[in-house]
Amino acid sequence: MTVASRSWIVPMSMAILLTGCGTVDRVTDMFGSSKPSETRSGGGKSFVGERAVALDGDLERLRATQKERAEATARLKGAAQAETAAYNGTVQEIAERLQAGSGPLNPQLLNQWTEARSHLARVDETVSRMRALDADLTADRARGRFLAETGRSLAGVGGATEAEAARVRDLQAGLAATAAALDATGNELAAEIRTQTEWLATERRRSDTLLAAVRTGAAAPRAEPVAGRAAPLPFAAPSASAAAPAPAAPVPGIAPAPAVAAPAPAVAPLAAAPAPVASFRPTSVDGRRPFVAIRFGREEPDYERALYDALRVAVERDPAIRFDVVAVVPRDGRGDAKRAAANATKVARSMRAMGLSEDQTRTYERPQGGISDPQVHVYIRRR
């Protein structure tokens, strides 16, 4: 070996010696040490300490998200409650004016009814926004649970200093609390969505019933409808000493309703049925006499007022009464069966809008001889 070669080896050996401390530590860690690489040369953070720093940032962001979601939930609940209160006030005012006495199709009441429906529409929009927020919260809750589990896992990793271990415990508690707060906000929002959805369904039915009352000028419902059930027909039941109801005004195209037998002697007798106003005699189906018969000729009859008055009398007599709505078509096929079925569906829908439940109205179709135009018959269902 030449002298020049030896002079090159000496500086390299000195370089290894100068850096030997750090190199030996790392080699020892790689070959035989049972510890993870806890420390770096120069006194840096351990693996646990570095993860704690990252989790600290995650916790701050998660807390900000939870606060934002909670505030948004409170805002949406407040908006829905404000519209609900406005709707209830408007509906109550309509009911009071109807109770005091109002003619059919009062334009002021119709405007108020339109206003009430706009409140319902705004509640519906708010519920849609709640559902969008609920979707965001679902993702946030999953992230919160993941970070809380990460904090628990990090607490079980060894090699941390006392200060780092204490910091991990604080992070673990903060992440668990924030994840629980996100879950609570999500549950609160989900419960509000369910409540408002059920309320909307009930109030839409009530609003339809109220519109029927405004159209006819009848008294409004005496009590709030039960959630999940159709509202009652909008009129008060007569007392024993109350005067008999007045006959319905003649309506072209609809046959009169017959008198309904009283279920008990204590009920006051009905007023005489109004004189026939139609030019046809309704044909019975299955041997039953129609309670109401409507003929649909070239022009559609305005049947709702007479139908409402007939139903009013029947329901006052028996609140549990049930009806069959029958589409009657000529047996010779001259009538339009689809049109007759659509007419029967429309009449049944009108009856439900007046407050009858779906269980109280059953619709079907029957061919019948001796008629020239499609008819819709309403029968009292046999028990």
CA distance 259 to 32: 104
* pLDDT at residue 186, rounded to an integer: 95
* pLDDT at residue 58, rounded to an integer: 93
Q: 208 with 72, same domain?
A: yes
Q: 256 with 204, same domain?
A: no
Q: 208 with 256, same domain?
A: no
Q: 285 with 361, same domain?
A: yes
Q: 1 with 91, same domain?
A: no
Domain boundary among 216, 235, 262: 216
Give the residue from 257, 246, 311 showing the smallest Cα distance to 282.
257
Domain count, the chain: 3
Q: 18 with 51, same domain?
A: no
Q: 334 with 208, same domain?
A: no
**Does residue 230 form part of some domain?**
no
Element (H, E) at 211: helix 162-216
> Tokens standing for 373?
């135009």
> Tokens standing for 103?
């003619």
CA distance 293 to 247: 17
Q: What is the DSSP letter of 90?
A: H
* pLDDT at residue 332, rounded to an integer: 65
Q: 70 with 205, same domain?
A: yes
**Does residue 26 form part of some domain?**
yes
For 14-59, the DSSP string reads HHHHHTHHHHHHHHHHHTT--S-----TTT---HHHHHHHHHHHHH
**Does residue 273 form part of some domain?**
yes
351 burial type by CB count under 10 A (0-12 exposed, 13-18 middle, 19+ buried): buried
Q: 292 with 212, same domain?
A: no
10-residue block means of pLDDT along the chain (383 residues)?
42 37 35 40 68 91 96 96 94 89 87 94 96 95 93 84 88 94 95 93 88 80 39 38 38 42 31 34 61 80 80 80 86 69 84 77 74 82 74
Q: Which CATH number belongs to the domain containing residue 367 in this structure?
A: 3.30.1330
Q: 277 with 381, same domain?
A: yes
**Does residue 241 form part of some domain?**
no
**Does residue 226 form part of some domain?**
no
Q: Which CATH number belongs to the domain containing residue 199 in this structure?
A: 1.20.58
**Does residue 225 form part of some domain?**
no
What's the predicted TM-score (pTM) here?
A: 0.50
* pLDDT at residue 254, rounded to an integer: 42
Q: 90 with 180, same domain?
A: yes
* 236 neighbors 290 (Cβ within 8 angstroms): no
Q: 122 with 158, same domain?
A: yes
> Tokens standing for 139?
């993702």
CA distance 85 to 82: 5
* pLDDT at residue 372, rounded to an integer: 67
* pLDDT at residue 370, rounded to an integer: 59
**Does residue 183 form part of some domain?**
yes
Angle formed by the axes of helices 162-216 and 107-155, nearest 10°: 160
**Does residue 207 form part of some domain?**
yes
Ramachandran bin of 156, using left for φ above 0, alpha for ψ from -120 to 50, beta for the remaining angles: alpha
Side-chain-facing half-sphere of 44: CA atoms under 13 Å: 10
CA distance 229 to 205: 9
Give me the domain span that covers residue 100.
47-216
